[in-house]
Amino acid sequence: MFGTITPDMILAILPEISLLVVLAIVFIVDLVLPETRRGILAVLTGVGLIATFVLTLLFANPGNSAELVWGGMLRHDMLAYVAKLLFIFAAFITVLLSVKLEDVWLKGEYYLLVLTSTIGMTLMAASADLVMLFLAIETTSIPLYILAGFMTGDNKSTEAGFKYLLFGAMTTAVMLYGFSLLFGFAGTSNLYAMADAISAGAVPGPVLVGTLVLVLLGLGFKVAIVPMHFWAPDVYEGAPTPITAFLSTASKAAGFMVLVRVMLASFPNILADWQLMLGILAVASMFIGNVVALTQKNLKRLLAYSGIAHAGYALLGVVAASELGVASVMYYLLVYVVTNMASFGVVIIVSRIVGSDEIEDFAGLSRRSPMLALVLLLAFLSLAGIPPLGGFIAKVLVFAAAVEAGFVWLAVVGVLASIIGLYYYLIVLKEVYLGQPKSEEPVPVVRAHGVAIVASVLLVLILGVIIAPGYNWAIAAAASLF
């Protein structure tokens, strides 16, 4: 079916192969490991992810070339390359943050599910065909449904798993329906061939816009934008926190990769339509996400709503539909992933000790553990878009992309929404720095958690000060789509 297998084709799926090997090793070791030494599983997974990261970084770089491989199923390009590295990094931090998490971290299947989901994400970023895309999305989602409900003894976690499954299955079905319509009219399932068929007029206008809505419904669910956001707060709150972190960063980013690719590859014909549609969704997400976040008492829920708002900002870059626009989305996601990992890291560390993730229980953290407070400060300021942190650069880039593409009004709305965001980030920081702690004891930090948050926060700073390397990646990824 694929003809001869060339080295390029292997390199295109090198990350997936490597992840699969790690998965197999963890699976086998899990079978033979005695009950008392299961901590090794986390180490194995972590090391495997680092190895995969390095392998991918060194060998899977497609450079300036972009080609369809494996019979047009995948596209080996910079966008996929950068995104894959991001997902692997996120999975690695997730594994680090899972260490010592009761009921979770000693179970082999936990790591298997995380790895499987990561494979799904890496495929999502590269998919160039509806069939492949659908499979990749399902490979990503199904393990995440299980992971969200992984703490079977905990009602909230079980509820989160179910809710995520039900909404996920429903929106996926709707999206699949959209895919089938597209395939039926265009006569091809390849995203890139489809653009030609569409511009040749194979799909009647109203049907095209209709299918677009169906597809957006499914992808909007993955990236959690308004109005497909309602699942996020409940699922984020109930899921084990490392999984919440994974969901809100890597899974969201994977959704964006698909969104960017599908929109630009398959729907250039109705550019103005989907720009308007996504522009409205972006505004709604920024405002609803930020405004509802104002009232939250639980830090995980607050981060869920903030994540909805951030999806809105990133969407501005998609709306711009330019090279700068896609680069800004990419940069935004890089920053957002590392920043949120740092935030959730602190949540995990603190809630492990105080036994809750209500904002009031973070009161006075600065007196207990100044360094943890500092990490949270940096992460939240980055989310609020304040220099010298990554979030500032990311915001400037998406607003710049919007202005460049003539959407000045979107940029204005965006900056105003970001003021609302600033307010609730400050409310949390106020608790952290001004509140009276219930105890003066320093919060002990598991070493793996410490590594995770320090690595994340350093990246936040690097992305905020030394902008060029990250931007070069982002712009190369963007260029591969045009």
Partner 1 sequence: MGFPILSAIVLLPILAGVVLLFLPPKNHKLIYSFALAIALVTFLLSIVVYVGFDATGETFQFVEKYDWLPQLGISYHVGVDGIAAPLVLLTGVVIFTGVIISQRIDDRPREFFAFLFLLASGVFGVFVALDLFALFFFYEIAVFPMYLLIAIWGWKQSREYAAMKLTLYLFIGSVIALVGVLAMYFNSGLNTFDFLALQNANFSPEFQKLWFPFVFFGFAVLGGIFPFHNWSPVGHVAAPTAVSMFHAGVLMKLGAFAALRVGIMLMPEGAQFHMWWILLLTLVNVVYGAFIAMTQTDFKFMIGYSSVSHMGLVAMGLATLNHDGLVGASIQMVSHGVMTALFFAVVGMIYDQAHTRQIPELGGMMKIMPFAGIAFIIGGLVSMGMPGFSGFVAEFPIFMGVWRDTPWIAIVAAISIAVTAAYILRAVGKVFFGELPAALEGHMHDIKISEKLALGILCVIMIAIGIFPGVIVPMVEHGVEAVLALVGGA
Residues near partner 1, by CB under 8 A? 366-367, 370, 374, 381, 386-388, 392, 396, 399-400, 403-404, 408, 411-412, 415-416, 418-419, 422-423, 426, 429-430, 433-434, 467-468, 471-472, 475
**Taking Cα atoms as reference points, which of 73, 20, 78, 28 lies closest to residue 51?**
20
Give the nearest distance from C-beta 296 to partner 1 in angstroms: 17
Q: Which is nearer to partner 1, 202 or 479 (CB)?
A: 479
Q: Which is nearer to partner 1, 21 or 416 (CB)?
A: 416
Q: Is 190 helix (H, G, I), strand (E, B) or coil?
A: strand
Q: Which is nearer to partner 1, 150 or 380 (CB)?
A: 380
Q: Which is nearer to partner 1, 174 or 462 (CB)?
A: 462
Give the nearest distance from C-beta 419 to partner 1 in angstroms: 5
Q: Which is nearer to partner 1, 60 or 321 (CB)?
A: 321
DSSP 69: E
Q: Give the integer Cα–Cα distance in Å for 2 and 311.
A: 37
Give the nearest distance from C-beta 386 to partner 1 in angstroms: 5
Give the nearest distance from C-beta 481 to partner 1 in angstroms: 17
Q: Give the integer Cα–Cα distance in Å for 28 and 24.
A: 6
Q: Which is nearer to partner 1, 99 or 402 (CB)?
A: 402
Q: Which two tokens stand for residue 55?
A: 């392998």
Q: Which is nearer to partner 1, 403 or 451 (CB)?
A: 403
Q: Give the integer Cα–Cα distance in Å for 457 and 376.
A: 9
Q: Give the integer Cα–Cα distance in Å for 213 and 282.
A: 15
Residue 418 · residue 395 · CB < 8 Å: yes
Residue 332 · residue 339 · CB < 8 Å: no
Q: Which is nearer to partner 1, 299 or 381 (CB)?
A: 381
24 Cβ contact list (under 8 Å, min separation 6): none
DSSP 225: -
Give the nearest distance from C-beta 411 to partner 1 in angstroms: 5
Give the nearest distance from C-beta 131 to partner 1 in angstroms: 37
Give the nearest distance from C-beta 240 to partner 1 in angstroms: 32
**Strand pairing class (74-76; 67-69):** antiparallel
Q: Give the integer Cα–Cα distance in Å for 234 and 239.
A: 8
Q: Give the integer Cα–Cα distance in Å for 334 and 462.
A: 11
HSE-up (13 A, CA, CB side) for residue 237: 19
Give the nearest distance from C-beta 478 to partner 1 in angstroms: 11
